[in-house]
């Protein structure tokens, strides 16, 4: 290439299309490969991130642009899932979901904490690793369930509701743990945090649908700007995501609530348009999880052993904790809820990063938590497919579900 051309490409215009091309195409190729192997395409997309990431090929490293696209991808994924669900139906399963979320927080925390102590880690580090095992990354499960048309089953609704509650609990665990490791626990502040997060979530879930049912017809009628309904949906999505962050929960919880609020007042047009954005950006969310894997954590046998133990604990603890919480639904659905809550994805990494920033989690233990987050996310989709096998085999899902619930 002549020097002049190198000069032009070095000024940066190649950066965006290059990153888009490498991440998107490798994610889609791996998804295609996995579909052909009869495995979930989503696992292929996450592994694409591992493959092109620093540990293997080194084509891409996590950067600000890619992580922004990943965040947006997760928001659109959850927004679209919210659009498919009625909030009244989530409210109905609220009791069971709370039970699932609580036992699904306690069991993983205790197992992670105990394993680290047995491994000989300082107690603060053990507490932080326990905290990083608490929160489910609902995006992965939601994507699998949505792709297979399974969002309308009772177990799916419990998984979604429990994941939202789980996020609030995760916030509180992180707040308590951060305060404890700094030696001071401010109880009034903690109570206020809890109150704000719960109030935001409950208010939007409870009155969002009704409010949107009254507002949306005016949007379509009165606004002159093109695709006004879509523009309004996007505005609500970003506004609730931002409010979610301000009240302490994850942006994707706000995105999910935005979808939920608009589920009954949104037509095909807005669904198709937002689907386009999701189709483009979700691969960045999935591959972005894989990009963070750092296999150098496995260079020391002791660390490798810890990583495997923590991974096993992450899987077993959510399966048991959440499965027990959903026991009242019968074995089949309890099993589905149990596997559906396994993926930790980006949530575990965020907690570990905060611990790393405090100097409480050491670099190799951080690598272990990242490995656990990614591996639990990769393991879950095939397990979900197995747990829902009966429904998937028996033809059109809604009918099958009806038959199943009645029989």
Residue whose C-alpha is closest to residue 34's, from 385, 303, 273, 363: 385
Quick check: 25 binds a copy of itself (CB under 8 A)? Answer: yes
Report the residue from 118, 206, 246, 328 that binds a copy of itself according to the rule CB under 8 A. 246
CB 284 within 8 A of CB 24: yes
Contact residue for a copy of itself among 170, 254, 321, 323 (CB under 8 A): 254
Nearest to 328 by CA among 123, 111, 96, 164: 96
Q: Which of 48, 127, 204, 277: binder of a copy of itself (CB under 8 A)?
A: 277
3 contributes a contact to a copy of itself by CB under 8 A? yes
Contact characters 174-213, a copy of itself, x per CB under 8 A: -x--xx------x--xx-xx--x-----------------
Contacts with a copy of itself, 149-178, as mask; x by CB under 8 A: --------------------------x--x
CA 160-162-165 angle, to 5 degrees, is: 115
Question: What is the number of alpha carbons within 13 Å of residue 369 lying toward its C-beta?
Answer: 33
**Both structure tokens of 182:** 């700094």
DSSP 319-354: HHHHHHHTGGG-HHHHHHHHHHT---HHHHHHHHHH
Transcribe 41-71 into DSSP letters: HHHHHHHHHHHHSTTTT-S----HHHHHHHH
CB of 29 to a copy of itself, least distance (A): 9
# residues contacting a copy of itself (CB under 8 A)? 69
Stretch that binds a copy of itself, among 27-35, 97-105, 209-217, 304-312 (CB under 8 A): 27-35
Alpha helices (runs of H) in 223-267, residue ranges in sequence order: 228-247, 251-262
The reply on whether position 280 binds a copy of itself by CB under 8 A is yes
Binding of a copy of itself at residue 406 (CB under 8 A)?
no
How big is the CA angle at 306 (ends 165 and 99), to the nearest 5 degrees? Answer: 20
Give one DSSP letter per residue of 5-27, joined into a string: HHHHHHTTTTHHHHHHHHHHHHH
Region of 309 (left: φ > 0; alpha: ψ -120 to 50; beta: rest) is alpha
Region from 71-79, 102-110, 360-368, 387-395 binding a copy of itself, contact rule CB under 8 A: 71-79
| 104 binding a copy of itself? (CB under 8 A) | no
- State yes or no: residue 110 binds a copy of itself (CB under 8 A): no
User: Taking contact as CB under 8 A, which single stretch among the options 86-94, 129-137, 203-211, 266-274 is the one that binds a copy of itself?
Assistant: 266-274
Shortest Å distance, C-beta 67 to a copy of itself: 9
Binding residue (CB under 8 A) for a copy of itself from 46, 93, 160, 250: 250
Check residue 288 for interaction with a copy of itself (CB under 8 A). Answer: no
Tell me the closest approach of the beta carbon of residue 266 to a copy of itself, in angstroms.
Answer: 13
What sign for the dihedral angle of Cα 28, 33, 34, 36? positive
Task: Kindly state whether residue 121 participates in binding a copy of itself, applying the rule CB under 8 A.
Answer: no
Which tokens is 139 given? 């995006």
CA-closest candidate to residue 141, choices 341, 398, 331 = 341
Chain positions contacting a copy of itself, by CB under 8 A:
1-5, 8-9, 11, 13-14, 16-18, 20-21, 24-25, 28, 31-32, 35-36, 41, 64-65, 68, 71-72, 75, 147, 175, 178-179, 186, 189-190, 192-193, 196, 223-228, 230-231, 234-235, 238-239, 241-242, 245-248, 250-251, 254, 272-277, 279-280, 354
């Amino acid at each position: 290439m002549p020097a002049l051309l190198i000069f032009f490409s070095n000024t940066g215009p190649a950066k965006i299309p290059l990153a888009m091309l490498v991440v998107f195409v490798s994610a889609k190729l791996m998804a295609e490969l996995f579909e052909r192997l009869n495995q979930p395409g989503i696992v292929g997309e996450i592994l694409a991130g591992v493959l092109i990431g620093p540990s293997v090929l080194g084509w891409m490293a996590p950067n600000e642009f890619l992580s922004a696209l990943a965040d947006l991808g997760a928001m659109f994924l959850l927004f679209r899932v919210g659009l498919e669900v009625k909030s009244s139906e989530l409210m109905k399963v609220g009791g069971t979901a709370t039970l699932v979320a609580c036992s699904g927080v306690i069991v993983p925390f205790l197992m992670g904490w105990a394993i680290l102590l047995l491994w000989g880690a300082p107690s603060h580090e053990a507490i932080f690793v326990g905290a990083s095992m608490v929160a489910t990354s609902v995006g992965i499960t939601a994507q699998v369930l949505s792709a297979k048309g399974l969002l309308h089953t009772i177990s799916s609704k419990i998984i979604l509701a429990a994941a939202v509650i789980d996020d609030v609990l995760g916030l509180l665990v992180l707040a308590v743990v951060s305060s404890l490791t700094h030696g001071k626990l401010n109880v009034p502040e903690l109570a206020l945090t809890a109150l704000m997060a719960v109030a935001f979530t409950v208010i939007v879930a409870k009155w969002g649908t009704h409010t949107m049912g009254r507002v949306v017809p005016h949007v379509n009628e009165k606004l002159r700007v093109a695709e006004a309904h879509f523009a309004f949906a996007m505005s609500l999505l970003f506004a609730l995501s931002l409010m979610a962050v301000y009240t302490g929960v994850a942006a994707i919880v706000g995105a999910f609530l935005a979808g939920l609020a608009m589920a009954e007042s949104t037509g095909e047009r807005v669904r198709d348009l937002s689907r386009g954005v999701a189709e483009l950006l979700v691969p960045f969310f999935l591959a972005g999880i894989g990009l963070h894997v750092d296999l150098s954590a496995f260079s020391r046998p002791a660390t490798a052993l810890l990583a495997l133990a923590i991974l096993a604990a992450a899987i077993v603890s959510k399966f048991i904790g959440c499965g027990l919480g959903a026991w009242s639904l019968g074995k089949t659905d309890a099993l589905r809820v149990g596997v559906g809550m396994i993926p930790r994805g980006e949530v575990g990494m965020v907690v570990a990063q905060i611990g790393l920033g405090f100097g409480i989690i050491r670099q190799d233990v951080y690598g272990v938590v990242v490995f656990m987050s990614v591996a639990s996310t990769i393991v879950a989709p095939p397990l979900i497919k197995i747990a829902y096998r009966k429904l998937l085999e028996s033809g059109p899902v809604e009918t099958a579900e009806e038959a199943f619930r009645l029989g």
